[in-house]
Chain A
Amino acid sequence: MAGRGRGGKTGSLTAEQMQALGCVGKDMPQVQSAPPPTFPPVLNKPITLETTTAQSYQLLWKEDFLNRMRDSPYYIISASQEKKKTDVKDWREKAIQRLKHRAQAEFNYKAMPRELNSTSRKRTAAELRPKQVAKKNKNIEDRLKQLEQKELKSGAGAGGDNDNDEAKQESDSEREDEQEDPEAALDDEMDEENDYANDYFDNGEAYNEEDDNMDDGPVY
Chain B
Amino acid sequence: MSADYADLCSAILEQCFGKVVQSVADCLFSATTRTLSQIVSSTNFSRKEVGLALSVLIKFRLVNFEPSKSNAYLPEYSLRREDVICLLRYSRYIHLVQSKYGNVGASIAEELLNSGSDTATSILLKCLSNGENKSETAESYKNILLKMIADHYIIKSPELITSEEGDDLVPRFLTNECDFFVPPIIDLQLLAKIQKGESTLSNAQDSAMVWHLNYDRFHQEFRDDIMKIAIERKLGENAAECFRFILNIMYNTTDPWQRRVSNQVTYVEIKQTIERKSNNLDLLKHLDQYIALITDDSLGFLRKVGDMGGGQYVVDMESSFESLAFACVESVITERFGSKAARIFRVIRFKKFIEQEDLQKEAMIPAKEAKSLAYNLFQEQFIHVKVIKKAGGGGSGPAKAFYLFQIKTKDTVRMLLDVCYKALYNIIRRSNFEKSEHKGLIEKSQRLDSIVETMKERGESEDYIAEIVETFTPPECEILNKVKHRIKTLSKAELTLDDTIFLLQMYQHHCTTLPTGIQKFK
Interface residues of A (CB under 8 A from B): 1-3, 11, 13, 16-17, 20-23, 27, 29, 43-44, 46-49, 51, 54-55, 57-59, 61-63, 65-66, 68-69, 72, 74-79, 81, 105-118, 198, 201
Contacts and interface: CB of A to CB of B under 8 A. Distances in A.
Contacts of A29: 372, 375
B51 A116 contact: yes
Contacts of A49: 492-493, 496
Contacts of A69: 15-17
Given A21-B356, A106-B115, A78 B493 contact: no
Contacts of A108: 59, 210
B403 interface: yes
A27 B95 CA distance: 52
B230 interface: no
A76 B368 CA distance: 58
B219 interface: no
Given A77-B18, A107-B59, A116-B55, A58 B169 contact: no
B387 interface: yes
A58 B399 contact: no
Interface in B60-88: 60, 65, 70-71, 73-75
Contacts of A46: 335
B385 interface: yes
B56 interface: yes
Interface string B70-111: 110111000000000000001110110010000000000000
B381 A11 contact: yes
Interface residues of B, number: 72
Interface stretch (B41-49, B141-149, B270-278, B343-351): B41-49
B167 A74 contact: no
A207 to B, nearest CB: 13
A11 B491 CA distance: 34
A96 B401 CA distance: 73
B51 A74 contact: no
Given A59-B488, A74-B59, A78-B20, A118 B52 contact: yes
A198 B73 CA distance: 7
Contacts of B49: 76, 78-79
B3 to A, nearest CB: 17
A54 B367 contact: no
Given A16-B398, A22-B371, A76-B53, A114 B167 contact: yes
A20 B401 contact: yes
Contacts of B495: 55, 58-59
Contact of A110 (B59, B171, B374, B398): B171
Contacts of B387: 2-3, 17
Given A68-B114, A76-B21, 6 more contacts: A2-B389, A21-B375, A22-B356, A48-B489, A111-B171, A117-B51
Contacts of A2: 387, 389, 398, 401
B95 A76 contact: no
Determine which residue in B389, B488, B495 has the highest number of CB atoms from chain A within 10 A of its CB, and name it. Answer: B495
Contacts of B492: 49, 51, 55, 59
Contact of B91 (A17, A61, A105, A118): A61
A212 B73 CA distance: 31
A55 B398 CA distance: 59
A22 to B, nearest CB: 4
B419 interface: no
Contacts of B189: none
17 contacts: A2-B398, A2-B401, A20-B401, A22-B356, A23-B371, A46-B335, A55-B495, A62-B491, A69-B16, A74-B59, A76-B52, A81-B19, A105-B52, A108-B210, A109-B55, A110-B171, A111-B173
A201 B95 contact: no
B36 interface: yes
